[in-house]
Amino acid sequence: MTIEAIAHIRTEFPEKFGIPRQSGLADELLGRIVFEPAYRNKDAVRGLEGFDYLWLIWEFSANRRRNASAETSKQAWQPTVRPPRLGGNATMGVFATRSPFRPNPLGLSAIRIDHIDLEGPEAPVIWVRGADLMDGTPIYDIKPYITYADSHPEARSGYVDTLDERHVDVIIPEAEGAKMSPKRLSSLRQVLELDPRPSYQDDPERVYGLTFGHYNVHFTVADKVLTVTEIENILK
């Protein structure tokens, strides 16, 4: 089977670091799905406005160098991985995780629809909230989320049920926060509250850097408090 990207998503994350670990955790994050010209047809999204969520099937495109060819991928794939949320020390079967390093580097995300723009040269454009995808990620398919079939609130989630989602309090000095629009600043705060550091890192002296849109955000974390030290507009 040969597949090709039907669209790409535009988000605030040009790099992997800082992307929420799952979709929907930072609901204020806006992204837009822009179709490739061959699939840019308003009829293709007819009826989608009646749904609140959609499924995206996409590629872990940042891993392409580690999946250079189908043959290389078959030879190099590993049956176990070390999930970051387990501290990078415990191993799990790759199919019991959402690791990007898999035989076929495909991701699956349930994303909330904000609105669908049917005007403009790129229409239709699907605006979404809470996407956990890097900017420019290829989208291979879009399917509507159907509650009666796709929602299973009673389901077990394996080792994930034993973990506490790491959150931190966020301090953004007024002078630094003023460098962003209030809406973008609110989205950034949600991202930072999820503590973007790898779970095995806990150095209160370290200054971390996160690229968010066209800003470099520097911060430290100590005693579950994340303090932004600088927000730099890299377009200046």
For residues 171 and 64, which has the higher predicted lDDT (pLDDT)? 171
Residue 26 pLDDT > 70? yes
What is 7-150's CATH number? 2.40.30.70
What is the reported pLDDT for 64? 56
pLDDT band with cut points at 50, 70 and 90 for residue 61: confident
Select from 3.20.20.70, 3.40.190.80, 3.30.2310.20, 3.10.20.340 the CATH code of 169-233: 3.30.2310.20
pLDDT for the residue numbered 9: 98
Task: For residue 169, give the 3-state DSSP assignment.
Answer: strand
Query: If you average pLDDT over residues 215-220, what whole number do you get?
Result: 97
pTM of the model: 0.89
In SS3 terms, the chain reads as: CCCCCCEEEECCCCCCCCCCCCCCCCCCCEEEEEECHHHCCHHHHCCHHHCCEEEEEEECHHHHHHHCCHHHHHHHCCCEECCHHHCCCCCEEHHHCCCCCCCCCEEEEEEEEEEEECCCCCCCEEEEECCCCCCCEEEEEEEECCHHHHCCCCCCCHHHHHCCCCCCEEECCHHHHCCCCHHHHHHHHHHHHCCCCCCCCCCCCCCEEEEECCEEEEEEEECCEEEEEEEEECCC
State whether residue 56 is helix, strand or coil.
Answer: strand
Residue 65's pLDDT is: 46
Q: What residue spans in the chain does CATH classification 2.40.30.70 cover?
A: 7-150
The boundaries of every CATH 3.30.2310.20 domain in the chain are 169-233
